[in-house]
Amino acid sequence: MEEPSDSGAWRTPAKYVTSPHMNATDDIVDNALHRPDREAFARKVDGVWRTVTSREFADEVRALAAGLMATGIAPGDRIALMAASRYEWMLCDFAIWTAAAVSVPVYETSSPVQVAWILRDSGAVAAFVEDEGRERVLAEAGVAAVGQVWRMDEGLGHLVELGRSVPPERVERRRRAVGADGLATIVYTSGTTGTPRGCLISHGNLVAEVRNVALADGIGEKVLTEHTMILMFLPPAHVLARVVGLAAVHNGAQVAHTSDLKNLPTELRSYRPTLLLAVPRVFEKLRNTAQRTAVEGGHARLFRAAEATAVAYSKSLDHGGPGLWLRGRRRVFDRLVFRKLRAALGGRVAYACSGGAPLGARLGHFWRGAGVTVLEGWGLTETTSGVTLNLPAAQRVGSVGRPLPGCAVRIGPGDEVLVKGPNVFGGYLHDKQATDEAFDSDGWFRTGDVGELDDGYLTITGRKKDLIITAVGKNVAPAPLEDRLRAHWLIDQCVLVGDQRPYIGALITLDPEFLTRWKLEHGRPRAADIKEIRHDPELRSAIQAAVDEANRTVSAAESIRRFRILSRAFVVGEELTHSQKVRRGYVVTKFAADIEALYAPDRPKA
């Protein structure tokens, strides 16, 4: 039972206390022993999903770990993992841990400069890469210390062959030699504000996070069960995707992987998952696509009515439930609209998990009303992913939920969110000063996020560093307005500016796919460059309407006075992190001229 404390913190008692002898590999050993024939994974081979049992997976992990040991990998050695979402990523991760080594995830889209920094800083001595392309990036990084590189697309059979000389008992001794306080992984922050820093995450952090997520009320009974099928498409280098994968293994759910995001709808219909994990932008894009399809089919009013009904229905669930009229109206729109939305997800998704960025109440209510309950949570790399989570029977849409078992949250000076728990990391690699500064004198971790607590439910209002203070002293949190603007089908990203300026301005990027549709609908050349068309009066009028709509939700001092459409979309690795979060500092620096144009005295209001 969650409970407030005298210090103003909200704590949820732990439901599981980690033994000092446990590590993250225990689950695959237990699964192989107690449910050996359980179909734990699904792999797409020649276009067909083929399952891997718990026993088969454990055997593959041991064989690969033996191969690592045969090549000279020693306890504590750091091994990089650079690949998109695929079965072999989890296989290699567990094999690295079984060999008592430390895994170092690297996003598969990282540049040679980024890769070089991570490999050198972590002290990696070997690496698993997905294919020839990633192997080439690794070579360009030029880190001589990485002496061995293995490609996943080549099957890893040569490593398995080498491992045949290593007795199974030796592999098991190596696995069991690592306890809860042993280092499991070095995960680098996404770098929204500067150079990525390596977060030291122990086996105890992972075990505590996974067990307490799995034991949170309703998760094991409704969300992650032995009947759950989850399709993982987020980058596994992201701590959220990694922890959800580990929790699925712990609870006996089935895990499948895909990195084919261009054909994600096809993959969803093919695998038909029951649980979806995604960042908010995915849910936003799905909703916007449905809206645009309705508009093009002459059903714009139908979609607006369906959306309003979904939101009203969802809100009523928190206030005594829907009345007869609203239930009937929702049934009608379920047949006409919502069923098609769910079919696009494969037709069986009842729950979804969202994290990595704010989902927003508007989108949360829409999806819950449409029949997919999105459980939004919150956490950071430094907290091994989740600290709070909305639960099936304890959900407040718009918040990020209450603390997970074992975690505590309080609001500190400047409304900064402070946390404690067994999932909080051990510090930053090679940076004692930053580690010391990350904790207050009472041992609370300073998250850098600003928020509010109400009856234990945490609402994140922004990042401390993102708060805009205008020239007249008005404090503006940019996230709510940006969220509303991204609801428009043409808008891909939006960044509010205005620090020490007379008013709020907005930098806007357009969705390339929907911009192409707009050009066709309005008789503009398909090949028209965005640099030219961004000044089109009709296009600007459409964006202005979206700005006006968003401005109705805030005071005049917080409203957007002018906007500027940028000449290209944001790119992962530049303006965006790998989890689709905007790197504000980078954007402000790179588009300084566009920002100045927003405040030029001779510029007409737009």
Q: Where in the chain is the domain with CATH 3.30.300.30?
A: 467-598
Structure tokens at 51: 């399952």
Please give the CATH number for the structural domain made up of 467-598: 3.30.300.30
Q: How far apart are CA 168 and CA 22, in angstroms?
A: 20
Q: How far apart are CA 183 and CA 204, in angstroms?
A: 9
- Residue 569 backbone phi and psi in degrees, to 5: -75, 160
pLDDT, tens digit (0-9, with 9 covering 90-100), for 95-144? 999 999 999 999 998 889 889 999 999 999 999 999 999 999 999 998 98
- Among 170, 159, 164, 117, which Cα is nearest to 141's? 117
Question: Which residues have CB under 8 Å from 152's CB, separation 6+?
Answer: 83, 86, 88, 89, 92, 128, 129, 130, 131
pLDDT of residue 316: 97
3 state SS of 373? strand
Please provide the average confidence, as pLDDT, over all residues in the chain. 93
pLDDT bracket for residue 604 (50, 70, 90): very low
**Is residue 237 over pLDDT 70?**
yes
Please state, for a pLDDT cut of 70, what percent of the chain lies above it.
Answer: 97
Q: Give 190 or 116, the one with higher predicted confidence.
A: 116
- Among 237, 231, 226, which Cα is nearest to 278's? 231
* CA 32 from centre of chain: 29
pLDDT bracket for residue 476 (50, 70, 90): confident
Q: What is the mean pLDDT of residues 474-498?
A: 90
Please state, for a pLDDT cut of 90, what percent of the chain lies above it.
Answer: 77
pLDDT, tens digit (0-9, with 9 covering 90-100), for 352-409? 999 888 888 999 999 999 999 999 999 999 999 999 999 999 999 999 999 999 999 9
- Among 513, 485, 578, which Cα is nearest to 108's? 578
Q: What is the mean pLDDT of residues 227-242?
A: 95
**Is residue 11 over pLDDT 70?**
yes
Q: What is the mean pLDDT of residues 155-164?
A: 95
Q: Which runs of E-coded beta strand occur in 381-498?
A: 385-389, 402-403, 408-411, 416-420, 445-454, 457-463, 468-469, 475-476, 491-497
Q: How far apart are CA 522 and CA 532, in angstroms?
A: 15
pLDDT bracket for residue 326 (50, 70, 90): very high
Q: Quickly list DSSP for 199-240.
A: EEEEHHHHHHHHHHHHTSTTIIIIIS-TT-EEEE-S-TTSHH
**Is residue 185 over pLDDT 70?**
yes
Instruction: Indicate the helix (H) or strand (E) that contains 63.
Output: helix 54-70
Q: How many residues does the chain have?
A: 606
**Is residue 535 over pLDDT 50?**
yes
Q: What is the mean pLDDT of residues 304-308?
A: 97
pLDDT of residue 605: 44
**Is residue 191 over pLDDT 90?**
no
CB 20 within 8 A of CB 29: no
3 state SS of 329? helix
Q: Give 518 or 194, the one with higher predicted confidence.
A: 518
CB 98 within 8 A of CB 175: yes
pLDDT of residue 3: 60
CB 352 within 8 A of CB 376: no
Q: Where in the chain is the domain with CATH 3.40.50.12780?
A: 24-178+228-271, 275-464
Q: For 152, which DSSP code?
A: G
pLDDT of residue 602: 61
Q: Give 602 or 210, the one with higher predicted confidence.
A: 210
Structure tokens at 68: 């690592």
**Is residue 606 over pLDDT 60?**
no
- Please, is 14 exposed, middle or buried when counting C-beta atoms within 10 Å of its C-beta (0-12, 13-18, 19+)? middle
Structure tokens at 333: 């729109």
Q: How far apart are CA 446 and CA 504, in angstroms?
A: 28
Q: Which runs of E-coded beta strand occur in 46-141?
A: 48-53, 78-82, 102-106, 124-129
pLDDT bracket for residue 5 (50, 70, 90): low
Structure tokens at 409: 């949250």
pLDDT bracket for residue 190 (50, 70, 90): low
- CA triplet 602, 584, 496: central angle to 5 degrees? 45
Q: Give 265 or 199, the one with higher predicted confidence.
A: 199
Q: How far apart are CA 249 and CA 234, in angstroms?
A: 17
Q: Does domain 275-464 have CATH number 3.40.50.12780?
A: yes
Q: How far apart are CA 62 and CA 163, in angstroms?
A: 9
Q: How far apart are CA 173 and CA 369, in angstroms?
A: 52
At the top level of CATH, the class of 24-178+228-271 is alpha beta
CB 492 within 8 A of CB 461: no
Residue type, 441: S
Q: Which runs of E-coded beta strand occur in 308-414?
A: 351-354, 373-380, 385-389, 402-403, 408-411
